[in-house]
Amino acid sequence: MKLKGAEIVWECLVREGVEVVFGYPGGANMPIYDAMLNYPVHHVLVRHEQGGAHMADGYARASGKVGVAMATSGPGATNLVTGIATAMMDSVPVVFITGQVAAHLIGGDAFQETDVTGITLPITKHNYLVTRAEDIAETIREAFYIAKSGRPGPVLIDICKNAQVESCEFEYPEEPVLPGYKPVTRSPKNLLDDAVKLIEKAKKPIILCGHGVIMSNAEEELMQFAVKTQTPVASTLLGLGAFPASHELSLGMMGMHGEAHTNLAIQNSDLILAFGMRFDDRVTGTLKTYAPKAKKIHIEIDPSEVHKNVFVDVPLVGDMKTVVADLIPLVDEYDHDEWKQEINGWKNEADSRSIMNWEDDGKLYVAHLIGDIWKATGGGAIVTTDVGQHQMWTAQYYQLDQPNRWITSGGAGTMGFGLPSAIGAWFAAKDQEIWAVAGDGGFQMTAAELTTAVQEGANVKVAIMNNSFLGMVRQWQEFFFEKRYSAVNMLAPDFVKLAEAHGVPAKRVTKREEVNEAIEWARSIKGPTVLEFRVEMEDAVYPMVPAGAALHEMIRRPVKA
C-alpha cells in the first residue's frame, strides 16, 4: 500500500492507540494536518505549544499511556522545549512530533528552520530527524517503544516537509529493532539475597517511595512488602499516592517541605529502601549528613541513577514491580513496634505546630483551602499544580490514597504547568473530578489555555491561590535574604473578569465562610471554572529544610499563641 508520509504518521499513531493529540499547525507540518482530517484522532488546538506539551504530559500521567504533542518547525518547536524538559525530568512518556523544513534546505537557515534535534538532545530520552518518507513508520514504532519502556521519557521526532509529502510503501514494523536498547527488568538472585540480609539486620528500616512505583504500577507490591515487613513508607513529591496516605505505615512526604517526623525518621533510620526514587537534592538536603547510620538498598530501573547522588550498599536494577515481587517471598515478617513508636513520638510533637488546628482568624490560608477541597472531593480528585508554595501546600494537605491522581512538575519545577496538565488529564479521565491548583504567578504564564478548555469543554476546576506575591521566592527572601523583597510583588489582572472574558464562570473568595459554598458552586458547573482565593500574603511553607542544610535542620512553623 503506497501512502504519503503524512498519512503514514497517522496510520502509525492510530496503530499505537493514540486517541488525542495536542498541537498547533504551521508551515512545516501542514501536510500532517491535512492528512489528519481522514483519521479518527481528536486534535486539541492549543493556544501556545508549551501548553500543548504540558497537556500531553498531563494526559500521559493520568492515563498511563503515551501522550502526543505536535508543533511546526522553528518557534513552534522551540515553544515545546519547556514542556519536553518537564516530561524528561519526571520520566513521563510523551512523543513529540515536529515539522521541519525540507531536507534539501536543512543547514541553509531556511524560514522557520531551527536545529530542533540539536536543541532537544539533552532533554529527550531519544530524538530523530526523519528526512525520508520510508523512515517514518519504523521511527514512530521505535519512538513509542522507547518512550514507554524502561525508564519512560519524552521522544521527539522531527519530520522534514518533503518526507511528509513523498509517498512510499507503508508497512508497520511488528517489533522495533534497537540493538543498543535493552531495559533490564529483573535483578539477579545474589543481589536480592544481599538485600534480604540487610533487611534481616535492620531495626529501623524506612521505605522511600518515588515516582518509579507509580510508573511501574507497583503499588500493590509496595503495600505487600511494607505490610509484611512493617516498614514505614515516606514519599517523594512525585511518589505521593503510590501508598495510601491514610495507611498507618504512611509517613507522608519527605524532603525540603516534608513532614518533620518523616525527615527525622530518615535521619535516624538504619536501613533505607529506596523504591524508584533518585535521591534528588530536594529530598536529601546536604549529602554529608544524610541518613548517616543507614545502609541503603536502591531499587531502580535506570542504572545511571545508582550511586549517582548517594552511594548505596545494594543496587537492585530492574522493573520495580518485578523486583519487589521477587523480593517479597524472600523476606520474613517483622513488627518493628519500637521503631514505629519512636516515629510516632516525633509525629505528636509536630501536631502542635499544624496550621490545620488553627481557628478562623479572618484570613485565608492555603493549607485550609486545600483541606476544604480535599473534603469536598472526598480526596478522590485528580489534582494538578503549578510550582511554588501552593504546590507544597497541596502536596502536604491533599492527602492521596490512590495513584495517578497527583500531577505536578517535580524535577523541572515548571511554572504554568497546572492548567494545561489538568486539561490534558481531563482527556484521560473525563468522568473524574479535576482540580488545577495554581498561584497567581504561574497561572498567568499559561492562562491563555483557558480558551482551549472552553473550546474543548474540559471540565477542570481552577483554584488560584492569589497572595499577590511570587510566594516561594518571597519566602526565601524572607528567610535567607533578610526580607529584602526583590521582584516578587506581582500585580495580577482581575482574575474573575479574565476568566469571564474567556467564557469561564468565576468567583472570588476572600472569607473563610465563603469557601465551601464557592467550592460546591464550582463543582456544580459542568465545564471549566475559576475560583480566585485571596490568601494571606506572607504565609510560609513549613517545615522547611534550607537548601544545603541537613535534613533534620528544619525551620518549623512557629507555635501560634
Partner 1 sequence: MNYTFIALVENKPGVLNRVASLFRRRNFNIESLAVGRTENPEVSRMTVVVDCPNGDVDAHRIEANLYKLVNVIDVQDVTHQPVVTRDLALIKVRVGPERRAEVNGLAEIFRARIVDVAPDSVIVEITGTEDKIEGMIELLRPIGIVEMVRTGQISMTRGVHDGVRRMPGMESRRYEDVMEMAEMMP
Pairwise CA distance, residues 41 & 95, whole Å? 15
Instruction: Give residues with Cβ within 8 angstroms of 544, minimum separation 6.
Output: 256, 257, 475, 479, 554, 555
The smaller minimum CB distance to partner 1, of residues 117 and 466, is found at 117
Q: Does 325 bind partner 1 (CB under 8 A)?
A: no
Q: Which of 36, 88, 415, 472 is catalytic?
A: 472
How many amino acids of this chain bind partner 1 (CB under 8 A)? 27
Pairwise CA distance, residues 174 & 193, whole Å? 38
Pairwise CA distance, residues 471 & 537, whole Å? 8
Give alpha helix (H) positions in 94-178: 116-120, 136-148, 161-165
Q: Where are the beta strands (DSSP E) in 7-93?
A: 20-23, 42-45, 67-71
Q: Does 303 bind partner 1 (CB under 8 A)?
A: yes
> Which residue from 491, 490, 442, 432 is spatially nearest to 463, judged by alpha carbons?
442
Residue 111 known to be catalytic? yes
Residue 134 known to be catalytic? no
Q: Does 94 bind partner 1 (CB under 8 A)?
A: no
Pairwise CA distance, residues 42 & 23, whole Å? 11
Interface segment toward partner 1; rule CB under 8 A; list 83-91, 271-279, 297-305, 333-341 = 297-305
117-136 binders of partner 1 (CB under 8 A): 117-118, 121-122, 125-126, 129
- According to DSSP, the β-strands at 2-4 and 167-169 are antiparallel
The smaller minimum CB distance to partner 1, of residues 177 and 487, is found at 177
Tell me which residue has cell 490514597: 401
SS3 561: coil
> What's the half-sphere exposure (Cβ side, CA atoms, 13 Å) at 440?
26
Q: How far is the CB of 200 from partner 1 (least distance, A)?
A: 23
* 8 A C-beta contact, residue 535 and residue 366: yes
Q: Does 44 bind partner 1 (CB under 8 A)?
A: no
DSSP conformation class of 302: -
Q: How far is the CB of 312 from partner 1 (least distance, A)?
A: 11
The smaller minimum CB distance to partner 1, of residues 318 and 411, is found at 318
Residue 49 known to be catalytic? yes
Pull the grid cell for residue 259. Answer: 513532614
Residue 365, Cα to own-chain centre: how many angstroms?
24
Pairwise CA distance, residues 549 & 544, whole Å? 10
Q: Does 154 bind partner 1 (CB under 8 A)?
A: no
Q: Does 346 bind partner 1 (CB under 8 A)?
A: no
Q: How far is the CB of 126 from partner 1 (least distance, A)?
A: 4
Q: Which of 246, 304, 352, 489 binds partner 1 (CB under 8 A)?
A: 304
Q: Which of 34, 194, 302, 313 binds partner 1 (CB under 8 A)?
A: 302
Interface segment toward partner 1; rule CB under 8 A; list 307-315, 341-349, 377-385, 513-521 = 307-315
Q: How far is the CB of 67 from partner 1 (least distance, A)?
A: 20
Residue 472 known to be catalytic? yes
Residue 481 known to be catalytic? no
H/E stretch holding 391 reads helix 389-397
Q: Does 34 bind partner 1 (CB under 8 A)?
A: no
Residues 174-193, one symbol each (x = binds partner 1 by CB under 8 A, - = not), give ---xxxxxx-x--xx-----
Catalytic positions are: 49, 111-112, 161, 472
Interface positions with partner 1 (CB under 8 A) = 117-118, 121-122, 125-126, 129, 138, 146, 177-182, 184, 187-188, 302-304, 306-308, 311, 317-318
